[in-house]
């Protein structure tokens, strides 16, 4: 839950945020906001995913639904040849459905770092079962961006008992909105693997969110996967039963 002072400053006194440099918030609060940025109590959205690799380019349009952190359903609606392909997440379990073969396949833990639909996003990116504040120790540092904006860098290192895939994550957020502008992911050897950037920040239903995000692999800087939210709604009525294997197979 947010602290009362944070609610007042962020939601009800934006003019004061612009006029005065904000005090550094609790790092846990920032991590909660990053974790829950597109989530809400529930959400539904229409997204465009653009994928560029060294050998091909493709565009997918998808509908996505979520409820809390444990339930999500994503279904491709374009192109027609892949319409109906979907992914369901319930708690720590994840399944893919391929309409051409009418097969439902459960994703084993060994494939969580595998590519989702040929993109630079992984299956683990979609599941996001863990909470950053629970699985990582973190340190917050204040700095000034190239445009003069006040930024916070949060360096996260996994706790010894945490079952996570990254050896380090560095998240950069704007101090005025607490919205991330950059996330950098490192492997267990400390090598930078990929960067995720955020843009087109807007306010939807009193929630400040970026509507575009792009992943670029460090070893292939000319490749990327970009997601653009064409429509996004929060706190809509969704029953738990909506997130079922039966519904996953419906076109």
List pLDDT tens digits, range 189-221.
999 999 999 999 999 888 899 999 999 999 999
pLDDT at 131 over 70: yes
What pLDDT, on a 0 to 100 scale, did the predictor assign at position 132? 87
pLDDT value, residue 130 = 66
Greatest C-alpha distance within the chain: 59
How does DSSP classify residue 242?
A: G
Q: What is the mean pLDDT of residues 121-136?
A: 80
> Which of 27-31, 35-39, 166-170 is least confident?
35-39
Greatest mean pLDDT among 14-28, 70-84, 130-144 lies in 70-84
Integer CA distances (angstroms), 20 to 9, 16, 23, 91, in order: 11, 6, 9, 42
Cα separation, 138 vs 132, whole angstroms: 9
Q: Which domains does the chain have, with CATH numbers?
A: 24-248 (2.50.20.10)
**Residue 15 pLDDT:** 37
Q: Is the peptide bond before 79 cis (omega within 30 degrees of 0)?
A: yes
**Whole-model pTM above 0.85?**
no
Specify the pLDDT at position 129: 60
Whole-number average pLDDT of the chain: 86
Our measurement of the distance from residue 184's CA atom to the centroid of its chain's CA atoms, rounded to an integer in Å, reads: 13
Separation of alpha carbons 21 and 175, rounded Å: 8
pLDDT of 169 strictly over 50:
yes
Per-residue pLDDT, 74: 94
The CA-atom distances, in angstroms, between 13 and each of 6, 209, 224, 226 are: 10, 18, 37, 33
The DSSP call for residue 82 is: G
25 beta partners: none
Q: For 115-138, give the DSSP string.
A: BSTTSS-BHHHHH--S-HHHHEEE
Checking if the pLDDT of 11 tops 70, the result is no
Between these two residues, 250 and 61, which has the higher pLDDT value?
61
Flag whether pLDDT at 13 surpasses 50.
no
């Amino acid at each position: 839950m947010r602290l009362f002072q944070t609610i007042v400053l962020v939601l009800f006194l934006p003019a004061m945020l612009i006029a005065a440099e904000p005090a550094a918030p609790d790092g846990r609060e920032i991590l909660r906001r990053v974790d829950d940025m597109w989530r809400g109590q529930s959400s539904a959205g229409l997204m465009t995913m653009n994928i560029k690799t060294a050998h091909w380019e493709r565009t997918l349009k998808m509908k996505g639904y979520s409820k809390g952190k444990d339930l999500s359903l994503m279904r491709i609606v374009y192109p027609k040849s892949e319409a109906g392909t979907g992914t369901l997440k319930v708690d720590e379990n994840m399944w893919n459905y391929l309409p051409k073969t009418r097969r439902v396949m459960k994703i084993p833990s060994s494939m969580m770092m595998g590519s989702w639909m040929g993109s630079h996003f992984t299956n683990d990116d979609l599941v996001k079962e863990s909470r950053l504040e629970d699985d990582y120790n973190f340190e917050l540092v204040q700095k000034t961006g190239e445009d003069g904006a006040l930024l916070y860098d949060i360096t996260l290192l996994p706790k010894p008992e945490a079952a996570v895939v990254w050896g380090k994550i560095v998240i950069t957020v704007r101090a005025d909105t607490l919205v991330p502008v950059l996330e950098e992911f490192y492997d267990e050897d400390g090598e930078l693997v990929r960067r995720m950037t955020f843009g087109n920040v807007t306010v939807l239903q009193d929630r400040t969110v970026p509507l575009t995000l792009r992943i670029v692999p460090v070893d292939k800087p000319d490749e990327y996967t970009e997601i653009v939210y064409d429509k996004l709604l929060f706190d809509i009525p969704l029953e738990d039963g909506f997130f079922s294997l039966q519904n996953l197979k419906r076109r």
